[in-house]
Amino acid sequence: MEKPLILVTNDDGITAPGLRALIRFMSEIGEVVVVAPDSPQSGMGHAITVDNTLYSSKADIDQTDGALVEYSCSGTPADCVKLALQEILDRKPDICISGINHGSNASINVIYSGTMSAAIEAGIEGVPAIGFSLCDYSWYADFESAKEAIISIVNEALKNKIPKGVVLNVNIPKIDQSLPKGIKICRQARANWKEKFDKRTNPRGKEYYWLTGEFELLDKGEDTDEWALANDYISIVPTQFDLTAHHAIQELNGWDL
């Protein structure tokens, strides 16, 4: 039987350890093609390049002598998926896997995430997609401990098919010297970032700002991704790219418009 074609991408850049680990994991399942940003693109959300040119070139980061088909792209994570589907691949991939992100993309973070936006772009194009994130921002995070779970989730997605119009947002807790307790299907926790700007002045007297802030969890539910992660479970949130607030349509129809 023909192996599944797996498109692999990320937002931390083509040399990121999380991506390199994901490539190894996916190579045990199917035929892997990598199209990833040539530099870090964290927090880019679903940005696309419309006012500049895009460049892409073949890469061989792990020196596989051509055994791995790999391209770097000058654009955003969403650009990478668009380019892969329209220009690089000669057939539609069976699944797109984005990650492994260095840091959480649970709760409100999914809105800002380049990792999840790459997966969502694939979903918009009709390609089943999953975004994986490890709740550890370290460049040298232990991705190997997540291998078994990641492979299991991808195999299940290939076998059972992800529901149409849905992309899976998978977050893996950081656990020292142990494995996650299991996997929970969750809803996105209600949360926000309490933001502030660190205002400074450069040596030439020009003001500049660093965005800082604290994560503010507003949800006490035990069925959320944040609860699962805090209790050492892997969270899977089925995410949709239809942003319509269907529950509000009837109320708005009552307005005198």
Annotated binding site for a divalent metal cation: 11-12, 42, 101
Whether 225 contacts 188, CB under 8 Å = yes
Q: How far from 83 is each of 90, 125, 239, CA to CA, in Å?
A: 12, 12, 23
Structure tokens at 138: 């370290």
Which residues make up each annotated binding site? 11-12, 42, 101
Name 132's Cβ contacts closer than 8 Å, sequence gap at least 6: 22, 97, 98, 99, 100, 101, 115, 146, 150, 170, 172
Structure tokens at 207: 């003001």
- Rg (C-alpha) for the chain, rounded Å, is 19
